[in-house]
Amino acid sequence: MSTYYTGKGDSGSTSIISGSKILKDQKIIEAIGDVDELNSVIGIALLYVHDKNLGKQLDRVQNVLFHIGASLASVSSKSGSLRWGVKKEDIESLEETINELGRKLPDLRKFVIPAGSDGAVRLHFARAVARRAERKVIAALRECGMLESRDYENVLRYLNRLSSFFFVAALYMNMKKGIKEKNPTY
């Protein structure tokens, strides 16, 4: 029978792929946690997104997020060792999907309130979590001295595209359902 706990983190520390043992409240662990949370939010969104092509892209995003989590776990405070990463093709695929969905949408001239169909609201939620994850990853890489590293350039580009992807996907889901976007009043 498999054991699903080790007890090694009971003291508030954890080991990461780089071999470092660090406290669980360090920025790198927060960033890994936010990327993991985003992956879980996407899993929930997939229950409500009934579009084959969009579902395939969301599956791909989940896989890339695992790569990002692993690459973050390979960072140490002294040096970064990137064994997993984001490929240029991953970014291009995301950009192509954003452009493809965007071509189907009417021009956007106002801010949009995150609301609408079941799929859209969950994609809006993923967008908000993606933005937080991006901020946490930037803070963690800066703290580790890896923010300017070319190793993490594609990770940062990919995370930056994700919020745009989720936003456009949410608008697309509402359009497919015939739901008009709500705009804030000032």
The reply to whether 186 falls in a domain is no
The reply to whether 152 falls in a domain is yes
Domain range spanning residue 66? 20-80+93-177
pLDDT of residue 30: 96
Phi, psi of 150, deg, nearest 5: -65, -25
Tell me the whole-structure pTM to 2 decimals. 0.92
The reply to whether 125 falls in a domain is yes
Q: Which pLDDT tens digit goes with each residue over 143-160?
A: 988 888 887 899 999 999
The reply to whether 183 falls in a domain is no
Q: Which pLDDT tens digit goes with each residue over 18-74?
A: 777 888 889 999 999 999 999 999 999 999 999 999 999 999 999 999 999 998 988
The reply to whether 143 falls in a domain is yes
Residue 79 has pLDDT above 80, yes or no: no
Residue 106 sits in a domain whose CATH number is 1.20.1200.10
Helical H runs in the chain? 27-46, 52-73, 88-104, 118-143, 153-177
Domain count, the chain: 1
Quick check: 77 and 165 in contact, CB under 8 A? no
Q: Which pLDDT tens digit goes with each residue over 83-126?
A: 567 999 999 999 999 999 999 999 999 999 999 999 999 999 99
